[in-house]
Amino acid sequence: WPSGGAWLLVAARALLQLLRSDLRLGRPLLAALALLAALDWLCQRLLPPPAALAVLAAAGWIALSRLARPQRLPVATRAVLITGCDSGFGKETAKKLDSMGFTVLATVLELNSPGAIELRTCCSPRLRLLQLDLTKPGDISRVLEFTKAHTTSTGLWGLVNNAGHNEVVADAELSPVATFRSCMEVNFFGALELTKGLLPLLRSSRGRIVTVGSPAGDMPYPCLGAYGTSKAAVALLMDTFSCELLPWGVKVSIIQPGCFKTESVRNVGQWEKRKQLLLANLPQELLQAYGKDYIEHLHGQFLRSLRLAMSDLSPVVDAITDALLAARPRRRYYPGQGLGLMYFIHYYLPEGLRRRFLQAFFISHCLPRALQPGQPGATPPQDAAQDPNLSLGPSPAVAR
């Protein structure tokens, strides 16, 4: 085991090797080096030299390989189709890929929408705008034919399934079945039909499929049952594609972003209209059992959670870009603050703590009207009575 001057020589050689590597020299690298130094100190005192060397080498390789910049493929004449470019992640990704030299086929719901006009104004002539409603088979067929006709010389390198849909934030019982169907039509069936239609081109180019999912498809976010189940379905579909397309050289990645301030998130008026529409169409029996205050509380909690959203969309755009160009793209990307903690809690902590964390982070329920004290036959369930995150009366969030 090196010591004194020999240790300094080894450290100097290691540092030289790090500088030759394509590493991001910043806080993450300094933190990794500090942790490795602490681990080295412990290993020297607790383990025999061969075992200590093996542990330190393995830890160093894992840490530094995570910090190294992934090898990127050249853009060259690659063509990419991106859905949902009217706003948010899709629009920003289209702008970035166009600036990098990609041939971008950007689909929008309306060719005269503000997002479409912005793309037409600020991007190069390489970018082509296509009208696409994923719930209409005719639109999908037209986009498939256009893509095949306009990528004969370059091939199609990538598909970015970004378009998404959610229109209700409410308990699953309060959400109309039509909401589940509409979410599945866009988030699952639309992505499935478009992906299957483009697979011959993607297999030919040994290209990439990148799909924007959601953590709501991995864990039971309160009041996102319709949206979350559709995102869970598309994530499983993409995992299936990932296995089945491996012999063809097609790589599949899923982006699981945190909460970001896209245009749909910032449109508070739209969410207010959807809440009013939900109240107007709710069966009288459910309205009596849950109460208007309950739905107002959920709405207020949801708007409160949106205030924590990140305004900088670049982490998601960078993840999509890496999935398209990295020589070895990840199967999952998790851009956004706090996602590592959320997934750790979801996978490793007891169910009660997981539920309370999601309630504190997103939406904390109050008791439905029929279960509140003083109501005929009201008997709050034992779990509700013991849950400190559950309000026992009308929501204080409505008054905030």
Which token pair is 243?
Answer: 């296995």
Round to whole Å and give the CA distance between 195 and 97.
20
Round to whole Å and give the CA distance between 271 and 278.
10
DSSP-assigned letter for residue 70: P
CA atoms lying within 13 Å on the CB side of residue 312 = 6
Count Cβ atoms below 10 Å from residue 143 Cβ, excluding itself.
21
**Burial of 91 (C-beta count, 10 Å sphere; 0-12/13-18/19+):** buried
Annotated active-site residue in 227, 294, 333, 334: 227
**H or E, element range at 148:** helix 137-150
Cα angle value 265/271/276 (rounded, 5°): 175
Residue with tokens 């040994």: 206
Round to whole Å and give the CA distance between 367 and 113.
41
CB–CB of 98/57 below 8 Å? no
Q: Look up residue 233 and give its amino acid.
A: A
- Active site annotation includes 227: yes
**H or E, element range at 82:** strand 79-82
Round to whole Å and give the CA distance between 208 and 382.
50
Q: Which pairing describes strands 208-212 and 103-108: parallel, antiparallel, or unpaired?
A: unpaired
Residues 373, 379, 380, 382, CA torsion sign = positive
Phi-psi region at 211: left, alpha or beta (left = phi > 0; alpha = psi -120 to 50): beta
Catalytic residues: 227
